[in-house]
Amino acid sequence: MRVWIDVMTPKQATMFGFIAKYLMERRHEVLFTAREYESTVGAAQRLGIEVHVVGKYAEGEPVDKVVADAEREAGLARLVWDFRPDVLIAYPDPPAAKVAYGLGINYVALTDSPHAVIPSRLALPLARAIIFSACIPPDAVKKYLTDDVAIIQYNGFDELSWVLRVRPSESYVRDLGLEPGRYVIIRPHEFMATYYRGVRASVDPWALARYVCREMKMDVVIIPRYTAHARKANSLKEELGDCVHVLLGHYDGASLTGHAYAVITGGASMAREAALYGTPAAIYYPRRLYVDECIARHGFPLVWGRSDGEVREFLMKAGDLKRDTSALLSGLDDPAEVVAEVLERVVG
């Protein structure tokens, strides 16, 4: 089968990078496309994936995002027309979904973010099949769909596509000048994402970084999302000195989260990854998401912080929350296997 995979974020690049390798091992031919955004391209390339870069993320006003998507759609159309794929695999991805629909290509979508309304509305109705965790109620996704879309749920989480395959490297962490178990990862929130519109974060990640350095006497690893984050992080490094490590470009997330003392993020994926590896993680996105709650119910060390005070309290007891999660992982489904089965059953 000729498979086109399109990714827009570092999490998607990591997940679909492993899925691409799994499919290629089974003799499928894969075209892997990505937009230029943060460490997205590097995350796939690190896995040995040949990446075709088409378009980039727009940090500006809504009109800038619309124009960037239109330009990306045009670039994808030309590239994909030459490849002639049987199927597109992507998250809710409006430019890629529109190209697939216009060129008569089957679209198999994955989603763990039904709360991301705009991309879900624009992309999911064009899918032939949608794969998502059994943690998510079907009705949360069905509201975006037409009647003829196949729904496939599995017992697991998207991050398992790499957590089940990657063992965190201690040497990688030490090469960065970090001591395993003696640093906290802070990932600021996606304030430019459409799902953050109208949502006000109640936690100040920069104040927490100061707390970790000055009060806990630990190092802080800051992983910016946007240009504004990078500027703020570098300013904080000037203020606090060597205890602040700012990671720009690609990084080995599994090794970083697997050996951290704790992870704090305004998003979800890095916290989920950390918790699945047994590292305590706190999410400060104000809304509780289905998958996050499900991971916590399974016994993985994932919590929520609704204020700086709550996150500080979490940090003080995080050392007692770390656990061996191998037994918890053993009964869960591998997303890569699920995707391969769906391609054969629904598309093939």
- Is pLDDT of 285 > 90? no
- Is pLDDT of 61 > 80? yes
Q: Kindly report the pTM of this predicted structure.
A: 0.93
Whether 2-156+333-347 shares its CATH topology with 170-329 is answered: yes
What whole-number percentage of the chain has pLDDT above 90? 84
What whole-number percentage of the chain has pLDDT above 70? 97
User: Per-residue DSSP letters for 183-226?
Assistant: EEEEE---TTSGGGTT------HHHHHHHHHHTS--EEEE--SS
Which residues are CB-contacts of 314 (< 8 A; sequence separation ≥ 6)?
A: 262, 280, 282, 303, 305
At 282, is the secondary structure helix, strand, or coil?
Answer: strand
pLDDT band, very low/low/confident/very high, at 240 (cuts 50, 70, 90) = very high
- Is pLDDT of 244 > 80? yes
pLDDT band, very low/low/confident/very high, at 147 (cuts 50, 70, 90) = confident
169-219 pLDDT per residue, tens: 999 999 999 999 999 999 997 766 666 666 777 889 999 999 999 999 999
Q: How many CB atoms lie within 10 A of CB 310?
A: 16
Of 52, 255, 76, 246, nearest to 173 by C-alpha is 255
Torsion of CA 299, 113, 116, 91, to 10 degrees: 150
pLDDT of residue 197: 67
Separation CA 336–CA 332 (nearest Å): 12
Query: What amino acid occupies position 16?
Result: F
pLDDT of residue 191: 65
Q: Does domain 170-329 have CATH number 3.40.50.11540?
A: no
pLDDT of residue 270: 95
Buried b (16+ CB within 10 A) or exposed e, 225-242: bbeebbebbeebbeebee
Separation CA 66–CA 304 (nearest Å): 33
In terms of pLDDT, which residue wins out, 216 or 250?
216
Q: Where are the domains of the chain?
A: 2-156+333-347, 170-329
Which of 3.40.50.2000, 3.90.850.10, 3.40.190.10, 3.40.50.970 is the CATH number of 2-156+333-347?
3.40.50.2000
Provide the mean pLDDT of the chain: 93
pLDDT of residue 287: 83
Q: How many CB atoms lie within 10 A of CB 313?
A: 14
Of 253, 323, 260, nearest to 295 by C-alpha is 323
**Per-residue CA distances from 181 to 162, 171, 185, 274 (Å):** 21, 13, 11, 13
Torsion of CA 237, 240, 241, 243, to 10 degrees: -90
